[in-house]
């Protein structure tokens, strides 16, 4: 659902659009409220299940299943109108965080610190002569950075196939992020090469790359993450 700014311009914010979709979906659920001889304020089970599933998916991808938002929303699994109204309060709180940019500042700072530590650890491994372990660590850091970039920009990080949900592979995330213009096509090509190096290291193909290439990977990854930090 597209939002309108005061000046009439379309708001290009996938996260905001998604949370507004969920809030609108909650309104659709509540519009089905009815009373029976034995119960009052019950809602349609089919649309309520759609709302619950979509809400849990969004919150778990963006905040994680240990976050109070997820726990609180999950606890409101009910077809009772007033309980669903309480779950709406969780979505409204998330909407406020997105409006104020708090989600970016908190996640961005934590991510930057963690990723910086991992790159420092990889560089230590390089100094000690363990280029293969360093390559694997740098690759894992890159993949998690791509996953966080996707989450923060409203891009799905999971895919459903044959009724099963699994995490998207790093190369798919890379293509999705470039398509959404979160970073450039040149960055996309570089990431393809870095992921290839990581895969060689993870599968024991140690002769396919040199220590110098891993050193360059570390330096280039650090630069890429610094440039894309504003998107977190």
Q: Domain ends where: 67, 100, 133?
A: 100
Nearest to 198 by CA among 152, 147, 143, 149: 143
The tens digit of pLDDT for each residue in 144-182 reads 899 889 988 889 888 877 777 888 999 999 999 999 999
Portion of the chain with pLDDT greater than 70, in percent: 87
- Which of 39, 70, 100 is the endpoint of a domain? 100
DSSP conformation class of 168: P
Which of 69, 100, 131 marks a domain boundary? 100
The pLDDT value recorded for residue 102 is 59
Parent domain of 114: 102-231
Task: Read off the CATH number of the domain in which 191 is found.
Answer: 1.20.120
CA separation for the pair 126, 225 (Å, rounded): 20
DSSP state letter for 58: H
pLDDT class of 107 with cuts at 50, 70, 90 = low
Same domain assignment for residues 119 and 204? yes
Place 134 in a pLDDT band, splitting at 50, 70 and 90.
Answer: confident
Please, is 172 exposed, middle or buried when counting C-beta atoms within 10 Å of its C-beta (0-12, 13-18, 19+)?
middle
Q: Is 37 in the same domain as 79?
A: yes
């Amino acid at each position: 659902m597209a939002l309108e700014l005061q000046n009439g311009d379309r708001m290009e914010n996938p996260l905001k659009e998604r949370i507004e979709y969920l809030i609108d979906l909650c309104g659709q659920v509540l519009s089905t409220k009815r009373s029976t001889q034995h119960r009052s304020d019950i809602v349609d089970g089919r649309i309520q299940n759609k709302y619950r599933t979509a809400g849990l998916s969004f919150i778990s991808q963006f905040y994680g299943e240990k976050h109070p938002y997820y726990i609180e929303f999950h606890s409101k699994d009910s077809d009772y109108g007033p309980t669903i109204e309480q779950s709406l309060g969780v979505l409204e709180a998330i909407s406020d965080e997105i409006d104020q940019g708090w989600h970016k500042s908190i996640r961005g700072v934590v991510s930057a610190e963690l990723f910086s530590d991992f790159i420092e650890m990889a560089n230590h491994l390089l100094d000690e002569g363990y280029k293969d372990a360093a390559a694997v660590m740098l690759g894992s850091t890159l993949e998690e950075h791509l996953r966080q970039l996707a989450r923060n920009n409203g891009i799905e990080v999971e895919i459903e196939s044959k009724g099963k949900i699994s995490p998207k592979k790093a190369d798919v995330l890379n293509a999705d992020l470039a398509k959404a213009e979160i970073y450039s096509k040149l960055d996309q090509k570089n990431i393809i090469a870095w992921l290839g190096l990581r895969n060689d290291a993870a599968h024991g193909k140690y002769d396919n790359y040199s220590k110098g290439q891993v050193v360059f990977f570390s330096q280039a990854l650090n630069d890429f993450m610094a440039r894309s930090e504003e998107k977190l």
